[in-house]
Amino acid sequence: MSLLMTGGTGFLGLHLLGENLRAGRHVTLLAHAGTTPAGERVTRFLDATGLRDHLASPLERLLEIVEVDVRLPGLGLPAGELRALAAGAEELWHVAASVVLDGRDDHVWQSNVNGTENVLALAAMMPRDALFRHVSTAFVAGRTRRGAVTEADSAAATEFENNYERSKHTAEGSVRRWAEQHDRSALVLRPSILIPGDGPIAALPEHTLRTVSRIIGRVLERSSTAEPRVVVRVGADPRAHLNLLQVDWAAKAMLLLGERIRDGVRTAHVVHDHDVAVRTISAALEDVSKVRLRMMPAAPAEPTEAEEWFQRRAAGFLPYLYHRRNFDASATRTLLPDLPRPAMIDREHLRRCVALPEAATMRRSA
């Protein structure tokens, strides 16, 4: 019997995969073909983190890679191969998703909604006692910007900050309908904004805050001012805060929740106990670039060319600069009393997470 996993070469997926391999579980990785082979991406991560030295068996005995495309019916596999995968599965983790906040609407929908429905079709073919785990996001709460958000609250959300949120909310609905129609169990895991932990960063795919940092770096290239710092005015609430969580801790928490929740249709927030002030995030981004982020009650009515470009490229992220909500995770804490709480996230840690190569922050020469 095997554990099936989609998205195992992504930012979170690599950590989930690594923890399963360390535990000696056989994993069949349903990997999307990329410019770098999936096996190479996995071994690079395992070597960088030292996990490869702690595997109970050689990697080739624990890991099988099957190239798929979740956007296609049957994941793009022959029907016989799909049935064979399902017949030998005891658990399926659906981690694959487009996490680009400003991606094309059709691409995000195909990956996150159609992709989930195609994976659910595979799950329906698995043995009846097989388990299904779906990685969603805490941000299916949508435009609820203040107050405490429970797992139940998010199910009723109808308005969203970007199409990514809407697609993940719709995918959750597909999971719940599937579980009801097929009388199956399902666990929906909702992490907050994931960032690197204390391990190496170079071997990881890009994460959300690093993408924002890269966009800020590009602002420098588009500015003609001779000032030592480029001022970019952004609409924000100075009291805003966001929930950031170390990805390695999130992976451990998710796997423990998967072990301890074995029936029913359950949802769990996987979040940090303490939010991070938007001002602290802004300061860390300023530390690694020559951009000064000036918070204003609203975006400038007459933006500079650089500000207009920044607003367009970071449009999916900028609404979060007004958020003052928090996510109720009391159920998760009750289920994981033995898991040490994640370390506090400070400006220094964030600076390391969002730092870019020096060339990316240098102004383009004339």
User: Residues 98, 100, 103, 105: what is their CA dihedral angle, to the nearest 10 degrees?
Assistant: 50
Helix, strand or coil for residue 299?
coil
- Residue 58 sits in the same domain as residue 175: yes
- Angle in degrees, 0-180, between the axes of helices 163-182 and 115-124, rounded to the nearest 10: 20
Half-sphere exposure of 35 (CA within 13 A, CB side): 0
The answer to whether position 71 is within a domain reads yes
The answer to whether position 203 is within a domain reads no
pLDDT at 140: 95
The answer to whether position 332 is within a domain reads no
- Residue 77 sits in the same domain as residue 189: yes
Are residues 69 and 32 in contact, defined by beta-carbon separation less than 8 angstroms? yes
- Residue 219 sits in the same domain as residue 250: no
Are residues 16 and 251 in contact, defined by beta-carbon separation less than 8 angstroms? yes
pLDDT at 365: 30
Are residues 5 and 93 in contact, defined by beta-carbon separation less than 8 angstroms? yes
pLDDT at 1: 67
- Residue 289 sits in the same domain as residue 141: no
| DSSP strand pairing (276-277 vs 241-242) | antiparallel
- Residue 220 sits in the same domain as residue 252: no
The answer to whether position 356 is within a domain reads yes
- Residue 22 sits in the same domain as residue 159: yes
pLDDT at 226: 60
Say if residue 197 is exposed, middle or buried (CB neighbours under 10 Å; 0-12, 13-18, 19+). Answer: buried
Are residues 29 and 8 in contact, defined by beta-carbon separation less than 8 angstroms? yes
The answer to whether position 355 is within a domain reads yes
Are residues 279 and 343 in contact, defined by beta-carbon separation less than 8 angstroms? no
The answer to whether position 333 is within a domain reads no
Domain that holds residue 308: 208-242+276-323+343-361
The answer to whether position 155 is within a domain reads yes
How would you write the pLDDT of the chain (366 residues) with one tens digit per residue? 689 999 999 999 999 999 999 999 999 999 997 778 999 999 999 999 999 998 989 999 999 999 999 999 999 999 999 999 999 999 999 999 998 887 668 889 999 999 999 999 999 999 999 999 999 999 999 999 999 999 988 888 899 999 999 999 999 999 999 999 999 999 999 999 999 998 777 778 889 999 999 999 888 777 766 667 889 999 999 999 999 999 999 999 999 999 999 999 999 999 999 999 999 999 999 999 888 999 999 999 999 888 999 999 999 999 999 999 999 999 999 999 999 999 999 999 999 999 976 533 333 332
| DSSP strand pairing (186-191 vs 131-135) | parallel
Q: How far apart are CA 344 and CA 91, in angstroms?
A: 33
- Residue 86 sits in the same domain as residue 136: yes
Tokens of 149: 């958000």
CATH of residue 19's domain is: 3.40.50.720
Are residues 144 and 114 in contact, defined by beta-carbon separation less than 8 angstroms? no
Mean model confidence pLDDT for the chain: 92
pLDDT at 321: 97
Counting the structural domains of the chain, the total is 2
- Please state, for a pLDDT cut of 90, what percent of the chain lies above it: 81
pLDDT at 224: 65
Look at residues 216, 241, 245, 232 and name the one whose alpha carbon lies nearest to residue 321. 241
CA distances from residue 316 to 113, 141, 283, 313, 321 in whole angstroms, order as listed? 18, 15, 20, 8, 11
Listed in sequence order, the DSSP H helices in 1-125 are 13-22, 38-49, 59-62, 79-87, 105-109, 115-124
- Residue 175 sits in the same domain as residue 236: no
- Residue 238 sits in the same domain as residue 150: no
Bridge partners (DSSP) of residue 232 are: 293
Helix, strand or coil for residue 47?
helix
Token match 């992976």: residue?
251
- Residue 137 sits in the same domain as residue 249: yes
Helix, strand or coil for residue 27?
strand
- Residue 183 sits in the same domain as residue 298: no
> In sequence order, which residues have a C-beta less than 8 Å from that of residue 365 and are 6 or more positions away?
none
Domain boundary among 270, 287, 313: 270
- Residue 66 sits in the same domain as residue 191: yes
The answer to whether position 337 is within a domain reads no
Are residues 310 and 222 in contact, defined by beta-carbon separation less than 8 angstroms? no
Are residues 284 and 235 in contact, defined by beta-carbon separation less than 8 angstroms? no
pTM for this predicted structure: 0.94
Q: What is the pLDDT of residues 243-267, one digit of tens each?
A: 999 999 999 999 999 999 999 999 9
pLDDT at 159: 93
Q: How far apart are CA 155 and CA 157, in angstroms?
A: 6
